[in-house]
Structure 1
Amino acid sequence: MVKDNIVITQHKDGCQIELLGEIDIHSLDKIEKKLTNNSCKNILAINIAHLKRIDTAAALFIKEISHDFKLLSGTVDEKIQKTLDLVKDFQKQSDLKQEISFLESIGKFWCKKVVFLSYFFNFIGELVTKKVSMLFSWKNFRYKEILFEINQSAIKAVGIVALTSFLVGIVIAYQSAVQLKMYGANIFIVDMLGISILRELAPMITAIVIAGRSGSAYTAEIGAMKITEELDAMRTMGFDPYYYLVIPRIIALSISLPLLIFIADIAGVFGGMIIAHTELDISPGLFLERFASVVDVKHFLIGEFKGPFFASMIAMIAIYRGFMVKDDTQSIGKNTTKSVVESIFSVIVIDAVFSIIFTKLGL
């Protein structure tokens, strides 16, 4: 091997370089240092006639200092030329950008939605199959997992749900008090708060909080298990993820949400009662008496009835998004975000459907 792989000849307007012998990734550092020490910024020509062997790292180096091989001189060996050809188009970017028409972008958007729905319905179909098979084989019913998820989804969420509903009750009552006071209809704040909170606001607020809290956790947990191949390990050992991960979470959330809605009802009405007392001089005793006489129990039952439907949809979307995570951590963040957004949207759609149905039924 040639002791020195580079010979630099200085000229007034620049320098001429001759590369010799065998150059690979290990010898490039010395060559670069020699170029720097000789202040060879303006290269006039590069003679590679005496090169015997180079690797792709050396070829890329030659490509860079020769401005895409424009400064090369000398007869090039056939093997050297083949290596140079390998990196000829390396990192060559086209200035042309593919333009997507408006109709094409709409088509791609809806195609993605159709694919999502097809996979989602496939997930629901398998889930229903597993639930039916569970009815005939109670050994697959995971009591401990369900109780654990109830603790995670319900008991640990009581504080945030109660506080959120309490503040919403205060805001609704405070804004309404200003208008009711103008017409001397102070007492009707009880009717408005009772019906709106029990029937709509408490279920909706609770579902949104749980979608952001438990739904995102479900997606992240299952997504992380998929990345670390824990799901594959479970299947290999004969543990069906649907029995151990999916169904317990759906059952737990379906039990938890009605309980949390009940707590949200109490907190929201209590917040409204405080404002009614401070702003409209309605005593707590009068408030509760009016509440019991005008707010029918059907409003409470309707709110509770929505809970399992909200919970099932939140859990299914969250778990499905967890299964959709790919083999990178960035995918967890994307699917967690989609999980929360889609869950909240689904809750609003379901609530709107129930509102229409209950109105048509006269409830």
Structure 2
Amino acid sequence: MASPPAPPELTATVTDGALRLSGDFIIWTLDKLPAEAASAKTIDLSGVGRLDTAAAAYLTGRERDGVTLQGLSTAQAGFLDTVRAARPQPETIPPEPTGWRAICENTGRKVFSSLSFLRELAEYLGRFLSAILRSIRHPRDFRFTSLVYHCQETGLRAVPIVALMSFLIGVVLAFQGASQLQRFGAEIFVVDLIAIAVLRELGILLTAIIVAGRTASALTASIGSMKMNEEIDAMRTLGLDPDMVLILPRVLALVITLPILGLISDIAGLAGGALMSWIELGISPSMFKYRLLADTNVNHVIVGLSKAPVFALIIGIIGCHAGMKVGNDAESLGAQTSTAVVNAIFAVIVADALFSIFFSEIGI
């Protein structure tokens, strides 16, 4: 019967700042190193027979601290080279740029992020247009019930707040215009002020801002919750196209209802202006109506309402895009919802400014 192997033995002595080892330098003998070994500047390994990875890791670590290794055989030196190559290297973090470099880097990152965001919005616009073409070719794939439901949610339910807001805006315009124009005896021109401001700019702009805050958040929350619950993946598994089921009815409902809401906003704004003009300036409703029809060009109505479909596309695409970007946690849903509202309102205001410049250039 073979006798059991002898236990590993290690002899370690420290003399003149040098640690001399002999025997088996392996994981089981590491604890036999004396306390003085930590201050040794040289390690003599000429008497070491067996060497494992634990001891090699200790030696390479001491080597990084400036300790010199002596007496290595060719095999031991090659083994240590292998351990050195496999040792994880600390990641070198470059210093944060400062001054002009930091400004240029931050600007570049924001520009690249903005361009990437615009590219993604263009992709979702293309998906919406593709879904429209597909619904025209295959009418049975179009979900009319979903369209009616979203028209009710985004349009009908928004009528009270839009009408009240526009009515109050008309009141404020009439009151402020009256207080200024009375100084020059031109009170009658308050009708022109109200008509142009409400019909051309404020009516549709403020309506779009309200819809952006109300509907963009709702689109992001509804689609985002489905994304969190993996319902969109289930749709794809069942062979349903999320563009046809989710994006098309929501965006198309906005395109249909926002011009109607804009028209309601114009009527409510003019009604508020007429009421305050009657109270503040004594301009009767019949006189207000006569002045409105005589001096207000129909181009103002066309300019205002022509912006509505574009604003609707902007709000719908941004809301659906943000909903699809939601991750698997509630924090992501909240962040994307607030981001969608901010981006939609900002984009609507920028688009309105571009429309104003365009119509001014062509003389309308």
Residue 287 of structure 1, CA deviation: 0.8
Matches of 1:199 and 1:114, distance apart in 2: 31
- Cα shift at 1:165: 0.8
1:316 lines up with 2:314 in the alignment: no
How far apart are residue 320 of structure 1 and its match? 0.5
Q: In structure 2, list runs of 5 or more residues that go unmatched.
A: 1-92
| Cα distance change of structure 1 residues 132 and 282 upon mapping to structure 2, 3 Å threshold | same
Q: In 1, distance between residues paired with 2:206 and 2:223?
A: 25
Q: Over the residues paired in the alignment, what is the CA RMSD in angstroms?
A: 2.1
Deviation string 1:262-298 (CA, Å, 9 cap, x unpaired) is 1101111111111111111111111111111111222
* Alpha-carbon spacing, 1:323–1:193, altered in 2? closer, same or farther (3 Å): same
1:89-120 residue CA offsets vs partner (Å, 9 max, x unmatched): xxxxxxx9963433322232223223322322
Equivalent-residue separation in structure 1 for 2:117 and 2:351 (angstroms): 19
| Deviation, structure 1 residue 245 | 0.9
- The residue number in structure 1 matching 2:23 is none
Of residues 102-111 and 180-189 in structure 1, the stretch that sits farther from structure 2 once superposed is 102-111
Task: Find out whether 1:233 has 2:230 as its counterpart.
Answer: no
Q: Residue type of the partner of 2:219?
A: Y
- 1:297 has 2:294 as partner: no
Give the match's secondary structure for 1:169.
Answer: helix
Q: Residue 198 in 1 paired to residue 195 in 2?
A: no
> Counterpart of 1:102?
103
Tell me what 1:151 maps to.
152
Aligned identity (percent) is: 41
Name the counterpart of 1:342: 343
Aligned residues: 272
For 1:300 and 1:358, locate their aligned partners in 2 and report how far apart those are by CA, in whole Å.
Answer: 13
Give runs of aligned pairs for residues 104-143 of structure 1, distance below 5 A.
104-143=105-144
Looking at CA atoms only, which structure, 1 or 2, has the larger radius of gyration? 2
TM-score normalised by the chain length of structure 2: 0.71
Moved more, 331-340 or 315-324: 331-340
Within 2, Cα distance between the matches of 1:151 and 1:312?
A: 17
Q: Pairwise mapping of residues 165-244 of structure 1 onto structure 2 (< 5 A)?
A: 165-244=166-245
1:294-348 deviations in Å (ceiling 9; x for gaps) = 1122211221111111101110011011101111111111111111111111111
Aligned to 2:307, the other structure's residue is in SS state: helix
Instruction: Write out aligned runs for 1:238-317 (5 A).
Output: 238-317=239-318
TM-score (norm 1): 0.71
For residues 298 and 109 of structure 1, what CA distance do their matches in structure 2 show? 39
CA offsets 1:51-97 (integer angstroms, 9 cap, x no match): xxxxxxxxxxxxxxxxxxxxxxxxxxxxxxxxxxxxxxxxxxxxx99
Q: Which moved more, 1:287-296 or 1:118-127?
A: 118-127
Specify every segment of 5 or more residues in structure 1 that has no aligned partner in the other structure, as ranges.
1-95
> Hey, what's the Cα distance between the residues in 2 that align with 1:277 and 1:252?
38
Partners of 1:277 and 1:258 lie apart in 2 by: 29
Give the deviation of 1:237 after TM superposition: 1.0
Q: Give the distance between the partners of 1:195 and 1:137, measured in 2 at CA.
A: 43
